[in-house]
Structure 1
Amino acid sequence: MTGAMRPPTAEHRAQTVVGALLEQAADAPDQPAFHVIERSEEEFALTYADVGRLVGRAAAGLRAHGIGEGDRVLVVLPTSRDFLAVYLGCLYAGVVPVIAAEPTGANPHYAAHLRGLVEQAGATRVVAAPDLADSLAAFLPGAVTVTTPDALRGQPLTLDDPRATPASLAHLQATSGSTGAPKLAMVRHGNITANVRAIAEAIRAEPNDSLVSWLPLFHDMGLIGISYALHARIPMVLADPVNFLRNPMSWLRWISRHRGTLSPAPSSAFHICARVAKRRPPDDLDLSSWRVALCGAEPVHEATLREFQAAFGPFGLPETTLRPVYGLAETTLAATISDVDHPFSVDRVDAEAVSARGRAEPRPAGDPRSMSMMCVGPAVPGHRLRVVDPDGTPLPDRMIGEIEVAGPSVIDGYLPEPGAAQGASGAAQATSGAARAGSADERLKRPDGYLRTGDLGYQLDGELYVTGRRKEIVIISGRNYIPDQIERFVEAVAKSPRTPSVVAVGVPDPMLLTEQLHLLLDERIGEGRDRQAVADEVRGALAEAFGIGGVTFHWIRRAQLPRTTSGKIQRHLCRRMIEERPPFRRTDVPTRVTSGGAPDAG
């Protein structure tokens, strides 16, 4: 490769992902590293030497533009060779990237979202594709410069030890924002290395593994995949998510063609592929190599996994491939992974006991009052997990409480909001890893180091079952109801052909002095059917299974539902949309929420 590459010293070897990359580029330069499938559907095979050249050129370009160690850079690029060059070049140079989603369609909130990320990160540089550079520059602050990847291509540097250490910031990861404004999680190089090692041990990594991913790189499930492949020294098929959206079955064809053994995805992707397969059964598909399919990033549904297994089992998909998991940005990525040697499992529990007593009491399958909880496995190796009451006291098996996680993958905290008191040297200390991120993060962890996730769940024989988000719980007459479980229940009763197609939120009722359950239903559920009859059937089923009455229905177009950049429903904004309708009144009459937020007769 152009420019000499010096093998990393023992001190840095494998302590950071970029160190592992440099070591492999020195030891096995011609070994395949990435097979990049760009948005144009052009494919590019990259060896480790090729990746090293990309990193060297990007690092030289960053230096030439005065972007140095500790500086924050917003990256708005599609999945591509350019992305690999910029992201890995930043990691090598000690520059801290923030990966942002590209604008999609006419999103009126995108400009404010991007400005917010720039201001929160303290970034003065944005790297964007040439076709976006001018439009992004138009609504960014004047002090922020938009640069293209072409402008960052310099003569490759001689790559020696990377500037980063395990304690230094690797990147800033935006949290999902499903329960409020996104925060920027401070992910250090040591966090990444600890997490990918834990994942490798949990999935019983094999030397001949290969990773296939089309996941968005602004999402941690997609971004950490790059680090996993580099640290494990396995080849990775890296595809632009637009290709999946155009043709979801292309994902499975990449696995079949490249003999992929590892390929993660959210529950919705498995649902889409199963639905497409029902309409157009595939042919010439061989999924026998697919060893582990981590399923996370959103609630995992039993029906979805069973439908996927039924659709693709005939094409060689092993029964042990589908693996429900639990993770979050604050644990870098994975917090739990279910056993890869056995098919996924569910726990059938009493819906009324969950809401009234906060206890997951077993109930037989087929009972109308039962609901299924998906097992997401034990804590990943080297990490600890517990479920606690509001005082932090660990709870026994089957008691529902807040999930807490501890271990080397858990972040220190979030980047402080702009203007937060931090002291004169606060920014420098946050970059070096010497400081916490402000008073909000003192509440992130307990004194014994456990992360307070804000998620609810229970344990059984050392394995975790996630029930919902603490902030999203609907409280009706003193009983706690889990929105996700209500939503899946309603979808089943309404025989919805799609998921997610129901959003459940609790809105304070000024007359009853408690919350009232509001259901936002995708209007496609009612196509060709009597909406009133659907609502009546759902109302009766909710009363029988959960003891819930006084439900308000809203028929809504799918595009109106507020979502995060990764597609998660923002229930707090759904609640606001309902609360702001004039006037608020308690009613069982189904309504339709219009684009202005006010209801009309359904």
Structure 2
Amino acid sequence: MTGSHPATTVIDALLDSAARTPDRSAFHVIERSEDTFSLSYADVCHLIAQSVSGLAAQGIDAAERVVVVLPTSRDFLSVYLGCLYAGVVPIVAAEPTTGDTSRYSAHLGRLVAHAQARRVITTPELAAVLTPSLPVPVTTPDALRGTPVPLDAPRATPTSLAHLQATSGSTGVPKLAMIRHGNIVANVRAIAEAIRGTADDTLVSWLPLFHDMGLIGISYALQARIPMVLSDPVNFLRNPMSWLHWMSRFRGTLSPAPSSAFHICARVARRRPPKDLDLSTWRVALCGAEPVHEGTLSEFQAAFGPFGLPETTLRPVYGLAEATLAVTISDVTRPYAVDRVDAEAAAAKGYAEPRPSGDPRTTAMMCVGPVVPGHTVRVVGPDGKPLPDRVIGEIEVAGPSVIDGYLPEPDDTPATGADGADGTDGTGEEPFKGPDGHLGTGDLGYLVDGELYVTGRSKDIVIIAGRNYVPDQVERFVESVTRSPRTPAVVAVGVRDATLHTEQLHLLLDERLAEGRDRQEVTGQVSRALDEAFGISGVTYHWVPRAQLPRTTSGKIQRHLCRKLIEDGAIGAASAASSAGTTDRATDGSAPRAAAPVSRRA
């Protein structure tokens, strides 16, 4: 870890940096206006001192909670870091994305009630809209800007709650993970060791701060004592290539992003080849938060390799909010690795059997690397016992980054111990971790020589006549067969068939997949390929507009809601209304093949 001595919280590290190098650059903040503001460590401490004063003036004490709804800005840094210093617990929420403020207000009201928050802190414009409908006072960063107070010892300790992080909710209702200061320090130190962080690094991020991948980046920069270029995500959405220009302009060495961002930039580069880029300093590009596709990374490398992007930069990773952020990071000294396995063997046997790349039954699995230092990861069967290499099971993780549990709902009766620290999930219903401290992630995968390959979510698994099919593998396969220029363009879900007493595969296809082609021709091609590679037949297809697919705030497809739309008939009705024949049965119409059942975790 870089820096002069270890710090027990990121605020300790910030105060130490301000004392030793007050004029050194801490942040370049690119706000939504696209204006850039440079902040030294002394500047950041001044902003914090103002917010700490304002929080005290409004009677918000340590351990109390506030909901923060702000764009990426100097105001955000002032409020968020001010809360961390004062021991106040922030919950960073997404801004409204549509004009339906009544629905957004209701959502925020539920979050306030769940967190039992004392205040909502937001922009003046949004405050005017939210104030009449929320049960707690709504305030603004300006109202919190008090007379700066001296910053001495932070109120927070490693065991104090730092913030509450909403989980993605891709398989259900989001929960609030209790992230402690000690969890954050442990995770960012482990990340720094895994990526071989140095004092010469510069972190560039435009990721939304309500997402852990964006928010923990701030802590990483402060703990590592390196400058951070922090942009509002709206700037990326307006012009995705701005991300790469920031990397070039600021000589960025580190920058994380979801797989979809790399895909978008590669597409834009094909249409409008960039100029005047120098990506030779980009050392580590962590790629996670959603399934990582081999095609996406190869396209990105092909597009930007000519601009100096090293072949070892792109790094598939695996993480989750319950582990603060990172769990595994692939080796930064070599190009990313791909394991080609037999798709049918994975479904029928739960075994990742290697196959040659040219075999039509092959599916590609991305290596997400070994567990970060100081932690352990294992793959277990239904009995909880570790499985041999290449056998697919549930991924479990343990270590100092793994949280104690989720914040209990206000109506729940917490078990003994503060905030579920006794090892329960806070409701007293079931242990959050196993007796040996390992957390069951609900994700499926396998290990090979200590490196992890993630195959999907256990709750998303499609079970057809006893075979387990991972939706993400099916989706990537179909996108490859149809030569989709965009991803995600396919959603695979299993729907119970009462007649056959098994699940049936339903594919939701982006309408743009059939542009210039006959839809029956496309579905016929997919049916033949699925039968050959996976042994799946009797598929039902639904052509849908991209905007109709339910997603989390971080953009992940919510398959459980897609399944509900199918079961309720909402998908078919909406599609049929827009175009005739938009819901097509597989051409053979036959039932799924029978197969020997495989063991799986309930």
Q: CA deviation at 1:254?
A: 0.1
Structure-2 residue corresponding to 1:130: 124
- Residue type of the alignment partner of 1:224: I
Q: Is the 8 A contact 2:205 2:214 kept in 1?
A: yes
Q: Distance in 2 between matches of 1:355 and 1:271?
A: 28
Are 2:299 and 1:304 equivalent residues in the alignment?
no
| Residue matched to 1:288 | 280
Match of 2:214 in 1: 222
- Is 1:332 matched up with 2:321? no
Q: Residues 256-271 of structure 1: matches in 2 within 5 Å?
A: 256-271=248-263
SS state of the match for residue 143, structure 2? Answer: helix
Q: Distance in 2 between matches of 1:75 and 1:83?
A: 8
Of 581, 586, 591, the residue aligned with 1:601 is 581
Q: Measure, in 2, the Cα distance between the counterparts of 1:441 and 1:99.
A: 27
- For the residues of structure 2 that align with 1:592 and 1:577, how far apart are their CA atoms? 8
- Relative distance call for 1:182 and 1:129 in structure 2 (3 A) is same
Q: 2:37 aligns with which of 40, 44, 50?
A: 44
Gaps of 5+ in 2: 583-602
1:570-600, CA deviations, whole angstroms, 9 ceiling, x for partnerless residues?
0000000000118xxxxxxxx8551799996
After TM superposition, the structure 1 = structure 2 runs for residues 160-171 of structure 1, keeping only pairs within 5 Å, are 160-171=152-163
Indicate which of 102, 125, 138 corresponds to 1:146.
138
Amino acid at match of 1:231: Q
Tell me, yes or no, if the aligned pair for 2:320 and 2:326 is still in contact at 8 Å.
yes
Distance 2:187 2:116 in 1: 27
* Displacement of 1:378: 0.5
Opposite residue 430 of structure 1, the aligned amino acid is D
**1:533-592 deviation digits (Å, cap 9, x = unpaired):** 00100011001100111100000011110000000000000000000118xxxxxxxx85
Matching of residues 278-427 of structure 1 within 5 Å? 278-422=270-414
Query: Could you tell me whether the CA contact under 8 Å between 1:214 and 1:251 is conserved in 2?
Result: yes
| Residue 14 (structure 1) shift | 0.6
Structure 1 counterpart SS, 2:435:
coil
Q: Secondary structure at the match of 1:601?
A: coil
Structure 1 residue 430 corresponds to structure 2 residue 419: yes
Which deviates further from its counterpart, 487-496 or 355-364?
487-496
Q: Percent identity?
A: 72
TM-score normalised to structure 2 length: 0.94
Deviation at 1:494, TM superposition (A): 1.2
Q: Does 1:443 align with 2:439?
A: no
Residue 546 in structure 1 maps to residue 534 in structure 2: yes
Q: Give me the whole-angstrom Cα distance separating, in 2, the residues matched to 1:313 and 1:101.
A: 34
CA displacement at 1:138 relative to structure 2: 3.3
How far the C-alpha of 1:601 sits from its partner, in A, is 2.6
Matched, 1:254 2:246: yes
SS at match of 2:531: helix
Count of aligned pairs between the two proteins: 578
| Structure 2: distance between partners of 1:363 and 1:438 | 45
* Aligned with residue 521 of structure 1, among 509, 512, 530: 509
In 1: Cα distance, 2:507 partner to 2:447 partner: 29
Distance 2:424 2:396 in 1: 19
Q: How big is the shift at 1:145?
A: 0.8
- One-letter code aligned to 1:57: Q
Q: Alpha carbons of 1:44 and 1:285: their partners in 2 closer, same or farther (altered >3 Å)? A: same
Question: 1:555 corresponds to which residue?
Answer: 543
Q: Which residue of 2 aligns with 1:121?
A: 115
Q: Does 1:470 align with 2:470?
A: no
Aligned to 2:586: none
Residues 596, 165 of structure 1: alpha-carbon distance in 2 compared, 3 angstrom cutoff:
farther
TM-superposed CA distance for 1:135, in Å, is 1.3
Which one of 97, 118, 121 corresponds to residue 90 of structure 2? 97
The separation in 2 between residues aligned to 1:434 and 1:299, in whole angstroms, is 33
Structure 2 CA distance for partners of 1:520 and 1:548, relative to 1, 3 Å = same
Give the distance between the partners of 1:547 and 1:137, measured in 2 at CA. Answer: 56
Give the conservation status (yes or no) of the 8 Å contact 1:578–1:597.
Answer: no
Change (3 A) 1:367 1:227: same
TM-score of the superposed pair, with normalisation by structure 1: 0.94
Report the CA distance between 1:366 and its aligned residue. Answer: 1.4
Give the alignment's Cα RMSD to 1 decimal. 1.8
Describe the SS at the equivalent of 1:150.
coil
1:567 aligned to which of 546, 552, 555? 555
CA distance in 2 between counterparts of 1:596 and 1:16 reads 55
Q: List per-residue Cα deviations over 1:222-254 (Å, max 9, x = no partner).
A: 000000000000000000000000000000000
Over 3 Å counting, the alpha-carbon distance change for 1:170 and 1:450 in structure 2 is same
Distance in 1 (alpha carbons) for counterparts of 2:479 and 2:393: 26
Whichever residue aligns with residue 337 of structure 1, its letter is I
Equivalent residue for 2:482? 494
Q: Distance in 1 between matches of 2:565 and 2:361?
A: 31
SS at match of 1:261: coil
**2:26 alignment partner AA:** A
CA contact (8 A) 1:577 1:597 kept: no
The CA deviation string for residues 121-171 of structure 1, in whole angstroms up to 9 with x for no partner, is 111200001111121223322xx1110000000011100010000001000
> Could you tell me which of 47, 63, 66 is aligned with 2:56?
63
Measured after TM superposition, the shift of residue 439 of structure 1 is 3.8
Partner of 1:111: 105
**Alpha carbons of 1:71 and 1:598: their partners in 2 closer, same or farther (altered >3 Å)?**
farther
Structure 2 Cα separation of the partners of residues 276 and 98 of structure 1: 34
Measure, in 2, the Cα distance between the counterparts of 1:288 and 1:598.
47
The answer on whether the counterparts of 2:424 and 2:432 sit within 8 Å (CA) in structure 1 is no
Question: Which whole-Å deviations, capped at 9, do the CAs of 1:153-212 have from their partners, x for residues lacking one?
Answer: 001110001000000100000000000000000000000000000000000011100000
Structure 2: distance between partners of 1:443 and 1:300 = 31
Deviation at 1:302, TM superposition (A): 0.4
What is the SS of the residue equivalent to 2:483?
coil
The answer to whether structure 1 residue 156 and structure 2 residue 145 are counterparts is no
Is the 1:477–1:515 Cα contact (8 Å) retained in structure 2?
Answer: yes
Instruction: Find 2:269's aligned residue among 273, 277, 290.
Output: 277
Structure 1 residue 497 displacement after superposition:
1.2
On the 8 A contact 1:399/1:458 being kept in 2, the answer is yes
Checking the alignment, whether the CA contact within 8 Å between 1:186 and 1:412 is kept in structure 2 is yes
- Partners in 1 of 2:283 and 2:250 — Cα distance? 13
SS of aligned partner of 1:52: helix
Q: Distance in 2 between matches of 1:221 and 1:434?
A: 27
Letter in 2 for 1:272: I
Q: Is the 8 A contact 1:13 1:19 kept in 2?
A: no
Kindly indicate whether residue 18 of structure 2 is the aligned counterpart of residue 25 of structure 1.
yes
Q: Residue 593 of structure 1 contacts residue 600 of structure 1 at CA under 8 Å; is this kept in 2?
A: no
Using the TM superposition, give the Cα deviation of residue 113 of structure 1 relative to its aligned residue in structure 2, in angstroms: 2.5
Residue 187 in 1 paired to residue 194 in 2? no
1:80 maps to 73
Call closer, same or farther: CA 1:436–1:548 in 2, change over 3 Å.
closer
Aligned partners of 1:173 and 1:547: how far apart in 2? 41
